[in-house]
């Protein structure tokens, strides 16, 4: 889920609530708050806590909420994860500690420390090696699952489907695997993914929902058609890596999603015009 900011660079909670309603009204099954698309790493700890509280309160039990609580350090991850549990989130997802190169022993200790602090709260490992620099291998995931029963699954943003399949194989009974690469949504579902965590779906949630429903219903022709449409959407939004594209796309649908936080930048007029042209050509706006 995106995080709207106002003209003074503050989290815009009224627009956040409006976005929540838009997404739920268009059939998403759950929300992930404060993640990569939500510019979570550009928020202070206090802002991340307030954002989590606001979304939990506004959702009011209408859908599950995964709060992203991962930080570069263990102490801050502990703080945000405990807060998410007390605030009423359904679960927390934690990005692999980033920037520095951490070995397997360090990552194991990090996640086991956090998991032990909230033993009854469901947790997801958020594996995003391109951005985090560090990765979670299948052996490490298996060890985490064995030693921390509340680590229930993984959110994998990795173009290597072999790795995704390895996660499912070592996850065991009750394991939940969510894919984060929109271009691989259908292949991931075919391998056993339980769902898709998508930044691009902020703007066109119904397209992603329809792909999922077509797959579940066994209508592979419709599912492939929807995957092709998802791929066009990805390209129009530069694969969701720049939240300014997504916020501009929402504005075209009449949902004001605010600004991005610096050093993120807004779209140029030329970029905005191209985006409008691309989405109109697809018949989406």
- Catalytically annotated residue among 100, 111, 126, 167: 126
Q: Which of 200, 205, 168 is nearest to 187 (CA)?
A: 168
Catalytic site includes residue 143: no
User: Could you tell me the CA-to-CA distances from 109 to 95, 102, 164 in Å, in that order?
Assistant: 14, 11, 23
Q: Are 2 and 257 in contact (CB under 8 A)?
A: yes
Q: Which of 40, 50, 48, 114 is nearest to 78 (CA)?
A: 114
Catalytic site includes residue 262: no
d(CA 118, CA 272): 44
d(CA 81, CA 67): 8
- Catalytically annotated residue among 155, 167, 212, 245: 155
Cα-flanking dihedrals φ and ψ of residue 83, to 5°? -65, -45
d(CA 42, CA 263): 9
Q: Indicate if the alpha-carbon torsion angle 168, 171, 177, 179 is positive or negative.
A: negative
Catalytic amino acids? 126, 155
């Amino acid at each position: 889920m995106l995080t709207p900011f106002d003209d003074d660079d503050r989290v815009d909670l009224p627009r956040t609530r409006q976005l929540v309603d838009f997404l739920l009204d268009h059939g998403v099954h759950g929300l992930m708050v404060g993640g990569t698309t939500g510019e979570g790493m550009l928020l202070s700890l206090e802002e991340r806590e307030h954002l989590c509280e606001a979304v939990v309160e506004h959702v009011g039990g209408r859908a599950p909420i995964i709060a992203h609580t991962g930080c570069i350090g263990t102490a801050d991850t502990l703080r945000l994860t405990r807060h998410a549990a007390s605030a009423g989130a359904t679960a927390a997802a934690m990005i692999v500690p980033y920037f520095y190169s951490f070995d397997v022993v360090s990552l194991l200790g990090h996640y086991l420390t956090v998991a032990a602090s909230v033993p009854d709260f469901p947790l997801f490992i958020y594996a995003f090696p391109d951005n985090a620099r560090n990765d979670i291998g299948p052996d490490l995931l298996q060890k985490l699952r064995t030693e921390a029963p509340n680590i229930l699954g993984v959110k994998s943003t990795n173009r290597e489907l072999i790795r995704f399949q390895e996660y499912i194989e070592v996850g065991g009974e009750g394991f939940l695997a969510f894919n984060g690469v929109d271009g691989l949504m259908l292949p991931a579902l075919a391998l056993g993914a339980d769902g898709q965590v998508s930044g691009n779906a902020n703007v066109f949630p119904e397209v992603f929902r329809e792909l999922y429903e077509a797959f579940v219903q066994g209508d592979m022709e419709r599912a492939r058609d929807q995957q092709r449409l998802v791929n066009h959407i990805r390209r129009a939004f530069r694969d969701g890596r720049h939240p300014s594209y997504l916020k501009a796309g929402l504005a075209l649908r009449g949902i004001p999603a605010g600004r991005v936080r610096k050093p993120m930048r807004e779209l140029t007029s030329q970029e905005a015009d191209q985006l409008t042209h691309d989405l109109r050509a697809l018949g989406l706006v």
